[in-house]
Amino acid sequence: MRISNRGLNLIKEFEGLELEAYQDIVGIWTIGYGHTSMAGPPDVVPGMEISESEASEILRRDLKQYEQGVEKAVKVSVSQNMFDALVSITYNIGVNGMKNSTFIKRVNSKDFEGAAEAMKWWNKAGGRVVAGLKRRREAEAALFLEGWTEDKDATQDEPRGARVEENSPRRGNLASSRTMGGATAAAGAGAATIGSTMVGDEDGKEQQAEAPTPTGTAPQVPGKTPGEHNPGGEDDTQSTPEGLPGTVAEVAERTQDVFATAWSREETQDAVVMAAGVIAVIAALYVVVARVDDWRNHKR
């Protein structure tokens, strides 16, 4: 591609025409429309003078290498406006600067809006923001997007009065959605977790109810209190077996505490499992509702 007259005029506008050699803001000798010795012949030296036609000829000659640099760097199809803007900024920052820039990477990933934004970042010279460079970058970014924002991805003219529709793949059957399948499976798993936890709790309660009374407590004789002596002089209070600490009542109390602690830990674990199941069911229901709404509106 070659730069159009519009792109050429943009460069001329911001470069400005100087028929006598001068030093730019960073001290580089320049003449014409921003021509420097680094761009090729003629070498710019102090006191050099040229005519306006010579300046235009030098600009055209200088731009060839920048046009070629942009063509090699760009891997996707771009519009004439995009090409003109890229040549303009490349003429200003150099081919190497363009090839290593963020904006050219975004161009090649077809992130054109992001590329236009990244072009604006090149607004410094000598470590400071320059008002003229800022205006130039904004003009180049605007030219880059001109025409694309109105016509991007258009395949045909829109009929007048026609309803705009989404051109996306349509799904005829909601049940064929993998998202719905996953949500159903998650809901089933959560419900099964809750059900198994509740059944486990009932079984635990039944087992606790059927558990035998801890031994070691002497049966009480009707009409007597433990510790009373029989008429024959024998004591019916059971003694503590040798080697066991404390009385039978103390042992029974400690045994009861151990059972209570074990059940409390199991109940805590069951509560955590049940909470996870409830969360899974709620999440699955949310996915199902969102999926149904998406299918009703877009059938995808």
Active site residues: 15
DSSP state of 156: S
- CB atoms under 10 Å from CB of 33, counted, come to 23
DSSP state of 21: E
Q: Quick one: three-class SS letters along 98-153? A: HHCCHHHHHHHCCCHHHHHHHHCCCCEECCEECHHHHHHHHHHHHHHHCCHHHHCC
CA Rg value for the chain: 43
Q: From CA 44, how far away is CA 15, in angstroms rounded?
A: 16
Please give the helix or strand (H or E) that residue 177 lies within, else none.
Answer: none
